Amino acid sequence: MDETTLQINGRPYQFAADKETPLLTVLRELLDLTGSKYGCGEGQCGSCTVLIDGKARRSCVVPVWAAAGKQITTIEGLAKGEQLHPVQQAFLEEGAMQCAFCTSGMIMSAVSLLNAQRNPSEAEILTAMQGNICRCGTYPRILAAIRKASTLLQGARP
Amino acid sequence: MTPKPHVPFPIEPERYELTAPVSYVFQSDRREFFKFMGAGLFVACSFSKAEAFQGSGAARRNPEDSLPQEISAWLHIGEDGTVTVFTGKVEVGQNIRTSLTQAVAEELKTPVESIRLVMGDTQLVPFDMGTFGSRTTPIMNLRLRRVSSAARNVLLAMAAKQWNVDPARLHAEDGKIADPQTKRSLTYAQLVKGQQLTQVVRVEDPLIPPREWTIAGQPLPKVDGRDFVTGKHRYPSDQKLPEMFYGKVVRPRAFNATLVSADTTEAENLPGVIVVRDGNFLGVAAPSSATAQKAASLVRAEWKAEPQPSNKELFEYLKQHQLPRSEQNGNFRFESGNVDAALASAMRQLQQTYKVNYIAHAPLEPRAALAQWSEDHLTVWTGTQRPFGVRSELATAFHLPEEKVHVMMPDTGSGYGGKHSGECAVEAARLARAAKRPVKLVWTREEEFTWAYFRPAGVIEVRSAVGDDGKITAWEFHNYNSGAAAISTYYDVPNQRIEFHPVNSPLRQGSYRALAATANHFAREVHMDEIAHSLKMDPLEFRLNNLKEERLRAVFAEGAKKFGWAGTKPANHGFGLGGGYEKLGYVATFAEVSLDRNSGDIKILRIFATFDCGAIVNPDGLRNQVIGANIMGIGGALFEAVEFENGRVLNNLFSKYRVPRFSDIPPLETFLIDRKDQQPAGAGEAPIMGVAPAISNAIFDATGIRLRSLPLAPLLVPHGLRLS
């Protein structure tokens, strides 16, 4: 067990865990940040996606030591107070969810994509989202939500 | 405890609906209930016995209570105007929390925001057999509309009494009762203030007809959508209690294994670890999931298992292992006319065999349960489509009366018919009893792919005869193992023999979205295509030539028009269709594929589904379900199959078992027929049925290669073709 501090959603979290513990386990079990989900444990379904220094990462395969010293954002840290992130807003408006278990991972992957490219092509969207599974088959609406968020973000400011 | 990991699970919900015991006990007497709810107006509805029994179950009379036997819906209006509605149906992504809210808002004439649904809590809701079989909309929606309409009438009567006027001149609107003559109005909150009223109403109220709906019938976003996009919603796997331990089950290497010996010393030496060995059950509980995992890995267990078949010999195995004919085994046989004579005298005959592999539900949230004991009371939070069924499983496993078991179902990360059983809840409860504290157990993906149950594999043999006029004269259809759902043909055939042959399945099998309807439609609709081609008839025309059912004709004809069936088809493109009827839903699915003759690449260019499920309650939610069913159908049609060998599942991870991803989805269109003249029906299942036959038939049209097994993609390889 090692004392570790992680910077999550703009604030430090201190806890004791083995350095090899997956970040997802720390988030869910020690810090009660349960918005990131366990779906496979092998980085194949995307339910656990968080941002590490702004980029989408599968937290189920990121050990704690690899996240130390970096800025981590989870779904809980995306909205600014009551103000939803444009991607969250777009998912709501497009009804881009059914059971919604994949939703937080989908949103984090989409935020990562739009961080890097505000106006992604269809092919870029598919590539960025290919690692996220929605078993309910909400894919067309998720794509629509990402396009809508892209428009919202481009309108926001350069 | 005697664990029952291999209890054969009935294939059809139709079958367990017949056998499931109706055992509701109204646990909270009215005083307790009011303590829970606070003051206000409580309205319960009684239905005719026959209707109450249909799908949702009846209540046993409790001598302490005056509630009649057939109570199966109730709601409460609180002093602040909040309407709390109680239903045993559960939310697994089909969006019924929203569509049922709309139904209540419509009949009670109160804003959507004032309504809260309590779902799947066995202590608070009326008995319900489960959320399956597309029954929520045709049955629970209707029932909640009725209880709401009854509550509205009670409120009208209360206002009329207060004002001393005829209730007929009053009307309900926006959470208020208004008197147009005096312009007075009273909110529901004002009306029920200080009341402790219980009304049991026998329901015969006329309902608001779909044509006059203003809240139902409209798109409405998910009522709690914000909780999902912010990560706030707590799924079963997110539940937590103070002092909780984490569980882990030590699994055998093969199905049907018996525990011979277990050395648990090393595991028990870890701090805080509890090891449970009870019959064939072996598991651990620990203060953290990491410790639980480590402890489980340190258990040295020896299991004994008999050799078991593999998927390579699956279809021969199914034919060779039929169960003896009995009602209990679910045999189904239908015969009309004289099929043997019709086949013998026919000019044209066709005989073909179709096969369907086992597939997995793979709900994104694996099974999860949190169990807590308080003396001999057991409380479990778990993701299940049958909270009352899980309550029974727990009561049986721990020799408890059902009223000592409380099951709660937080809105769950999907089910698709795959979460009818309560094994995870039983395991968590067993560990919690030993640990003397709450225990949470979340199955791993590997466990979910292995120890849950599967959609049944099947072999279907079809024999048909057709006259030169394109009329089918004989139809013989034998389904081995996959099930009897939608086994009957909707085409008009004078001579039929249709039979379902139950089999001693090599894998644990159970329900799945649309059940065997997908396999039976695949065989029937591909076979119809084969007959049409043998007659050189247009496959659509051939179907319509043999079909009288008006609503099914309508989806075929409307779909064909919208799809452009009769339009020009580019060279090397193929059109295919498949459709049918199940669970009050009518579907026709059309597909277009292209073949690149140089590379051998086959591409699905578009899928078009036409669907009629009666009057539409929420077009937005419905579209999500129909598109979702189509996408799930693409997985089973093209590439999903459980590979197994000697009691083990070989492809038990998402890296080995391919489910549809973003790039697998062709342009999908749906055309929804809103039949305001019909009662609303469920929509989660039927749209999946047309996908596989439509794609298979389209591939034949483009390539001349007939694919008769699911999944289709592996069958292309020997022909030098592949899906791109």
Residues B260 and B333 in one domain: no
What is the Cα–Cα distance from B127 to B54, expressed in whole angstroms?
12
pLDDT at res. B9: 32
Beta bridge partners of B498: B334, B477
Q: Which of B442, B475, B491 is the last residue of a domain?
A: B442
| Assigned domain for B557 exists | yes
Q: What is the pLDDT of residues B289-311, one digit of tens each?
A: 999 999 999 999 999 999 999 99
| CB pair distance less than 8 Å for B654 and A141 | no
B416 Cα to chain A: minimum distance (Å): 9
Count CB atoms within 10 A of the CB of residue B212. Answer: 11
Chain B, window 365-394: residues with a beta carbon less than 8 angstroms from a chain A beta carbon: 365-366
Helix (H, G, I), strand (E, B) or coil at B557: helix
Number of domains chain B is built from: 3
Count CB atoms within 10 A of the CB of residue A68. Answer: 15
As a whole number, the mean pLDDT across chain B is 90
- Name the least confident of B138-152, B241-255, B526-540: B138-152
Chain A, window 37-56: residues with a beta carbon less than 8 angstroms from a chain B beta carbon: 37-42, 44-45, 47
pLDDT at res. B34: 57
Domain harbouring B484, CATH code? 3.30.365.10
| CB pair distance less than 8 Å for B230 and A45 | no
| CB pair distance less than 8 Å for A99 and B412 | yes
Residues B394 and B340 in one domain: no
DSSP 8-state symbol, B718: G
pLDDT at res. A121: 97
| Assigned domain for B449 exists | no
What is the Cα–Cα distance from B694 to B579, expressed in whole angstroms?
8
Residues B68 and B114 in one domain: yes
Reply yes or no on whether the pLDDT at B444 is more than 90: yes
**CA of B626: which chain A residue's CA is closest?**
A137
What is the Cα–Cα distance from B655 to B489, expressed in whole angstroms?
38
Residues B147 and B267 in one domain: no
| Assigned domain for B6 exists | no
Can you list the domains of chain A with their CATH numbers?
Answer: 2-76 (3.10.20.30), 86-156 (1.10.150.120)
Residues B515 and B597 in one domain: yes
Residues B97 and B160 in one domain: yes
Cβ-nearest to A137 among B238, B627, B654: B627
What is the Cα–Cα distance from B507 to B8, expressed in whole angstroms?
9
Q: Burial level of B52, CB count in 10 A (0-12/13-18/19+)?
A: buried
pLDDT at res. B17: 31
Q: Is B541 on the interface with A (CB under 8 A)?
A: no
pLDDT at res. A21: 96
Reply yes or no on whether the pLDDT at B27 is more than 80: no
Q: What DSSP string runs through A75-144? A: GGGTSBTTB--HHHHHHHHHT--SS-TTHHHHHHHHHHHHHH-SS--HHHHHHHHTT---TT--HHHHHH
**CA neighbours closer than 13 Å in the CB half-sphere of residue B526:** 33
Q: Report the share of chain B in percent with pLDDT over 90.
A: 80
- Name the least confident of A30-34, B66-70, B584-588, B669-673: B66-70
Interface test with B, best of A92, A136, A142 (most B CBs within 10 A): A136
Locus of tokens 């999908």: B668
| Assigned domain for B2 exists | no
Is the pLDDT higher at B709 or at B617?
B709
Residues B210 and B333 in one domain: no
Reply yes or no on whether the pLDDT at B710 is more than 90: yes
Q: What is the pLDDT of residues B124-145, one digit of tens each?
A: 988 888 888 888 888 888 889 9
pLDDT at res. B48: 55
Residue type, position B632, single letter: M
- Name the least confident of A88-92, A139-143, B71-75: B71-75
Structure tokens at B60: 């046993």
Reply yes or no on whether the pLDDT at B52 is more than 80: no
Mean pLDDT in residue range A64-89: 97
Residues 6+ apart with CB under 8 A from B173: B109
Asked whether A106 and A132 are in contact (CB, 8 A), the reply is yes
Chain B, window 642-661: residues with a beta carbon less than 8 angstroms from a chain A beta carbon: 653-655, 659-661
Q: What is the pLDDT of residues B453-471, one digit of tens each?
A: 999 999 999 999 999 899 9
Q: Which of B442, B468, B497 is the last residue of a domain?
A: B442
Asked whether A56 and A49 are in contact (CB, 8 A), the reply is yes
Residues B261 and B167 in one domain: no
Residues 6+ apart with CB under 8 A from B115: B82, B83, B84, B85, B101, B104, B105, B108
Locus of tokens 């589904």: B609
Residues 6+ apart with CB under 8 A from A14: A3, A4, A5
| CB pair distance less than 8 Å for B222 and A28 | no
Q: Which of B208, B229, B250 is the last residue of a domain?
A: B229
Mean pLDDT in residue range B145-158: 92
Reply yes or no on whether the pLDDT at A72 is more than 70: yes
Query: What are the strands, taking DSSP E only, across B265-398?
Result: 274-278, 281-286, 300-304, 332-336, 348-356, 368-374, 377-382
Structure tokens at B322: 């039929």
Residues B129 and B207 in one domain: yes
Mean pLDDT in residue range B580-602: 96
| Assigned domain for B3 exists | no
Q: Is A73 on the interface with B (CB under 8 A)?
A: no
Q: Report the share of chain B in percent with pLDDT over 70.
A: 91
Q: What is the pLDDT of residues B164-220, one digit of tens each?
A: 999 999 999 999 999 999 999 999 999 999 888 887 777 666 788 999 999 998 999
Q: Which of A78, A83, A101, A93 is nearest to A149 (CA)?
A: A93
pLDDT range class, residue B72, cuts 50, 70, 90: low
Mean pLDDT in residue range B373-397: 96
Q: Is B161 on the interface with A (CB under 8 A)?
A: no
Residues 6+ apart with CB under 8 A from B154: B41, B43, B197, B199, B201
Q: Is A28 on the interface with B (CB under 8 A)?
A: yes
What is the Cα–Cα distance from A146 to A118, expressed in whole angstroms?
10
- Name the least confident of A17-31, A123-137, B40-54: B40-54
Structure tokens at B198: 């219980």
Domain residues for B651?
321-358+454-723
What is the Cα–Cα distance from A116 to B195, expressed in whole angstroms?
59
pLDDT at res. B228: 98
Reply yes or no on whether the pLDDT at B236 is more than 90: yes
Interface test with A, best of B620, B662, B668 (most A CBs within 10 A): B662
Residues B217 and B261 in one domain: no
Asked whether A97 and B222 are in contact (CB, 8 A), the reply is yes
pLDDT range class, residue B630, cuts 50, 70, 90: very high
What is the Cα–Cα distance from A76 to B195, expressed in whole angstroms?
41
Judging contacts by C-beta atoms under 8 Å, the chain A residues touching residue B95 are 98
Residues B185 and B73 in one domain: yes
| Assigned domain for B4 exists | no
| CB pair distance less than 8 Å for B229 and A97 | yes
Q: What is the pTM of this model?
A: 0.93
Looking only at the bridges linking them, the beta strands covering B668-673 and B601-612 are parallel
Residues 6+ apart with CB under 8 A from B18: none
Is the pLDDT higher at B2 or at B562?
B562
Q: What is the pLDDT of residues B469-522, one digit of tens each?
A: 999 999 999 999 999 999 999 999 999 999 999 999 999 999 999 999 999 999
Mean pLDDT in residue range A17-24: 96
Mean pLDDT in residue range B270-282: 96
pLDDT at res. B42: 87
Q: Burial level of B360, CB count in 10 A (0-12/13-18/19+)?
A: buried
Residues B416 and B435 in one domain: yes
Q: At what angle do helices B691-703 and B517-534 cross, to 10 degrees?
A: 30
**CA of B234: which chain A residue's CA is closest?**
A34
Cβ-nearest to A21 among B231, B290, B413: B290
| CB pair distance less than 8 Å for B235 and A143 | no
Mean pLDDT in residue range B640-656: 98
Q: What is the pLDDT of residues B82-125, one digit of tens each?
A: 999 999 999 999 999 999 999 999 999 999 999 999 999 999 98
A157 Cα to chain B: minimum distance (Å): 23
Chain A, window 76-135: residues with a beta carbon less than 8 angstroms from a chain B beta carbon: 76, 78-79, 84, 88-89, 91-93, 95, 97-104, 107, 125-126, 129-130, 132-135
The most distant pair of C-alpha atoms in chain A lies apart, rounded to whole Å, by 47
Structure tokens at B620: 């937005």
What is the Cα–Cα distance from B120 to B410, expressed in whole angstroms?
8
